[in-house]
Amino acid sequence: MKNIIFLLFLISFVICSGLSSNVLAQKNKSKIVAPEKPDLEAGVEDVTFDKEKAITECWWQPIYSKMRPCSDEGGVEVTTVSKTAEKDNLTYYYIVSGGKIVGQGAKITWDLGRVRPGEYKMMVGVGKDGIMRGKTVVKSIHVELCECEAPPCSCPTISVSGPTEWIKPGEQMVFRANMAGGSQDTESYNWSVSDGTIIKGQGTPQIVVQTMPAMLGKNVTATVELGGLCPECPRTASATGEIKGCDCSSISASGPTKPAAPGELMIFTADLSGGTDKDFDNLNERSFIKYKWTISDGTIIHGQNAAQIVVQTTPEMAGKTITATVEIEGLCPACPKTASAKGEVAGKKPKALKNK
């Protein structure tokens, strides 16, 4: 009997426990909050401007100047209609391509008083946490320039500085444009030189001019013309550098060190070292140097106008000596300009035929 009662008690306990669990599960389920669904109908219904165009002030005048008759016309009053924004306490977002937004909410001011003339756009939306929700509206407005007086003009002081001492032919000169003051926003630089070559800096305030050895005794005048200034302002300035003195280069020529067989090719080389062109590492960098070769026999088949030539010999040249002479142009006028080298052609000279 006791066993039956215990068994009934155990069954009742299990049933009650199950019912309690179900009740708790139902209560917990009722506490789960479904994620908020975005209102796809939310957004901006309409946006209106209080004027069809805006007038920008003369932006070159000081911000606090009393000479801005059009500044009060640069502000555009913007009104946005959005029922959902008011109902859900959403934020109004105004994204503009120019100017600035003054205020917040459904009514703001779009300040276009200091922008340049043109077309400007505004996108209006509502949402939260930087996220726009629903429909957005994009509107444009045209900005015109106030009929102001011409901007005040102040001319800069312009000068050019050049080398403070004379240089040798073949060296480089540096010229620099100096400008102080002026009301210009930006300026451009256009350089010209009376002699030599501008190798660096055209279009900038400073240039480097390469002189040539043949410019001994000459002056180089560099002139800069500035753009972007008021029409009535002076825009050019110049400076001059002087070229004196001359260090002559050492010129030599070399040929084959052994006799060549008739019909073989001979190589002759001009060597230029020291002097005013000492800053160049190799012959190819001396762009102002020109080579002119002549030979006593044979044919130059490669290298004329260069530092090395190749000469074609022929069988008939057996036993002859070939002399190659180079004349170098572009050196200082008082310097030596020529050098020679010889090459032997192996074999015996053909005997002359005797007249019978």
What pLDDT score does 53 carry?
Answer: 85
> Taking the CA of residue 342 as centre, how many other CA atoms within 13 Å lie in the half-sphere pointing to its CB?
5
Fold exhibited by the domain 250-344: Immunoglobulin-like (2.60.40)
pLDDT confidence of 36, banded at 50, 70, 90? low
pLDDT tops 70 at residue 221: yes
CA 303 to CA 147: how far, in whole Å?
70
pLDDT tops 50 at residue 62: no
Most confident of 99-113, 312-326, 340-354: 312-326
pLDDT tops 70 at residue 49: yes
pLDDT tops 70 at residue 355: no
CB 329 within 8 A of CB 337: yes
pLDDT tops 90 at residue 260: yes
In degrees, to the nearest 5, what angle opens at C-alpha 150 toward C-alphas 148 and 154? 135
Tens digits of per-residue pLDDT, 153-167? 889 999 999 999 888
CA 280 remoteness from chain centre: 29
Tens digits of per-residue pLDDT, 227-253? 988 888 999 999 999 988 766 778 999
17 secondary structure, DSSP code: H
What pLDDT score does 138 carry?
Answer: 95
- Please name the CATH architecture into which domain 157-242 falls: Sandwich (2.60)
CA 102 to CA 110: how far, in whole Å?
6
CB 161 within 8 A of CB 201: no
pLDDT confidence of 63, banded at 50, 70, 90? very low
Higher-confidence residue of 23 and 129: namely 129
Mean pLDDT on 277-294: 61
pLDDT confidence of 69, banded at 50, 70, 90? low
* Same fold across 46-145 and 157-242: yes
pLDDT confidence of 310, banded at 50, 70, 90? very high
Q: In the CATH scheme, what is the homologous superfamily, with its name and number, of domain 46-145? A: Immunoglobulins (2.60.40.10)
Q: What percent of the chain has pLDDT above 90?
A: 49
Residue 214 Ramachandran class (φ > 0 left, ψ -120 to 50 alpha, else beta): alpha
What pLDDT score does 329 carry?
Answer: 84
pLDDT tops 70 at residue 33: no
Least confident of 91-100, 179-188, 345-354: 345-354
Name the average pLDDT for the chain: 82
CA 190 to CA 34: how far, in whole Å?
71
Q: Per-domain residue ranges for the chain?
A: 46-145, 157-242, 250-344
| Torsion angle defined by CA atoms of residues 319, 320, 321 and 325, in that order, rounded to the nearest 10 degrees | -150
What pLDDT score does 117 carry?
Answer: 84
